Amino acid sequence: MITNVLVTGGTHGNELTGVNVVKHWEQIKPTLKLPQNTPSISCTITNSDAVKYRTRFIDQDLNRQFSLEKLALNENKSDELLCKEERLAQSLNKEIGPKSSPSYDLVIDFHNTTANLGPCLIILCKGEFEVSMARYVKSVMPSSVMLLENEKPYEDFPYLCTLGKHGVMIELGNQAHGVNDPSIYLNGLQLLQAILDFCRLYNENNLPALMPVECYHLTGEVKYPDGAMHEYMIHPDLFGHDFEELKSGDPCFISVDGETVQWEGNATFPHFIGEVAYQHLGMAFSTSDRILL
Ligand SMILES: [Zn+2]
């Protein structure tokens, strides 16, 4: 039973779709007549200072603060020893967690990416609930993309959404950080509605027959040939082509001198191609396999 859902935006303060989705829900909530068996829905902006300054974070990435280990490590430290987002993580863990014993059945955290991901639902485990959700959402919104990242146990992820018993991320792209693209916003609302409809049908034990759906399964990350030196770029044949197959021998990078670097690995489905927030790490894209989930 999913009795309560928390919708969060502004975990990265310059990713504005979630900020607007939260504003929208706060406005419509008082007049909303939700069907019976819909979970109660709360929403919150998680890093309001970062939103105010239109920046990803103030000191550190908030969406990397929620592993049980890090929460425990910082729990008894005095505030002056913690950075802004470490303090924020401690208070969010108290307000909307705690992660060790979640008070929300589902946390849906909104993100944007400069990469061409489309309306993407990221699930973090292959639990029955998550798999059914992915199948349902894909069936009612065929343009949505399912991405499975389960390289570690759910509890070990440092993501804010893992404060919920179940947690998912909505990753919407491509949208430049700090920009509000209205069609991306509408995609976000549609994806959220599909998840909420799923929760109601799940509660009623009334889901339609769900068939396995196409899903991308994260396998790794690829760095630029020169790390973060910025003498290489994503090849134009690859840039913007998230979730399209990249085969051995396909052009992958070009140097500032015009030299082409080919992909030498196994065939893969790249995504988060050129995401601007990862450029300082030298990360060019993530890789995935296409599976049926
Ligand atoms: Zn984000």
Q: How sure is the predictor about 217, in pLDDT bands with cuts at 50, 70 and 90?
A: very high
**How far is the centre of ligand 1, averaged over its atoms, from the C-alpha of 111 (Å)?**
4
202 and 276 fall within a common domain: no
Final residue belonging to a domain, choices 184, 211, 238: 211
Final residue belonging to a domain, choices 169, 185, 211: 211
Q: How sure is the predictor about 28, in pLDDT bands with cuts at 50, 70 and 90?
A: confident
Query: Mean of the per-residue pLDDT values for the chain?
Result: 96
pLDDT at 227 over 90: no
31 and 99 fall within a common domain: yes
> Contact 166/4 with Cβ under 8 angstroms?
no
- For residue range 112-132, list pLDDT tens digits in order: 999 999 999 999 999 999 999
Cα–Cα distance, 137 to 198 (Å, whole number): 7
Cα–Cα distance, 13 to 22 (Å, whole number): 13
pLDDT at 228 over 80: no
149 and 259 fall within a common domain: no
Distance of CA 26 to the CA centre of its chain: 21
Strands 145-148 and 118-123: parallel
Per-residue model confidence (pLDDT) at position 36:
87
156 and 243 fall within a common domain: no
Straight-line distance from the first to the last Cα atom of the chain, in angstroms, rounded to the nearest whole number: 22
**How far is the centre of ligand 1, averaged over its atoms, from the C-alpha of 209 (Å)?**
33
Backbone angles phi, psi at 91, to 5 degrees: -70, -40
For residue 192, how many C-alpha atoms fall within 13 Å in the half-sphere facing its CB? 28
Which residue range forms the structural domain that includes residue 271? Answer: 215-292
Mean pLDDT across 237-244: 98
Please tell me what DSSP assigns to residue 34. P
Torsion on CA atoms 182, 200, 106, 174, rounded to nearest 10: -20
132 and 173 fall within a common domain: yes
- For residue range 153-181, list pLDDT tens digits in order: 999 999 999 999 999 999 999 999 999 99
Cα–Cα distance, 196 to 161 (Å, whole number): 16
Backbone angles phi, psi at 189, to 5 degrees: -60, -40
- For residue range 273-284, list pLDDT tens digits in order: 999 999 999 999
285 and 221 fall within a common domain: yes
**How far is the centre of ligand 1, averaged over its atoms, from the C-alpha of 202 (Å)?**
28
Per-residue model confidence (pLDDT) at position 105:
98
Cα–Cα distance, 273 to 275 (Å, whole number): 6
- For residue range 68-96, list pLDDT tens digits in order: 999 999 999 999 999 999 999 999 999 99
88 and 130 fall within a common domain: yes
Answer yes or no: pTM beyond 0.85.
yes
Q: Is 171 a residue of the active site?
A: yes
Residues in CB range of 207: below 8 A, 6 or more apart: 132, 136, 198, 201
Cα–Cα distance, 227 to 278 (Å, whole number): 11
Number of domains in the chain: 2
CATH code of residue 198: 3.40.630.10
Tokens in use for 258? Answer: 């015009």
**How far is the centre of ligand 1, averaged over its atoms, from the C-alpha of 37 (Å)?**
30
134 and 248 fall within a common domain: no
**How far is the centre of ligand 1, averaged over its atoms, from the C-alpha of 2 (Å)?**
25
44 and 177 fall within a common domain: yes
- Residue of 120, 125, 238, 240 whose CA lies nearest to 184: 120
33 and 140 fall within a common domain: yes
Residues in CB range of 250: below 8 A, 6 or more apart: 237, 238, 262, 263
Residue type, 225: P
Final residue belonging to a domain, choices 211, 244, 264: 211
Tokens in use for 152? Answer: 């570690």
Give the active site residue among 171, 244, 264, 275.
171
**How far is the centre of ligand 1, averaged over its atoms, from the C-alpha of 231 (Å)?**
26
263 and 180 fall within a common domain: no
Q: How far is CA 116 from CA 9, 177, 265, 270, 291, in A?
A: 20, 13, 22, 11, 20
69 and 205 fall within a common domain: yes
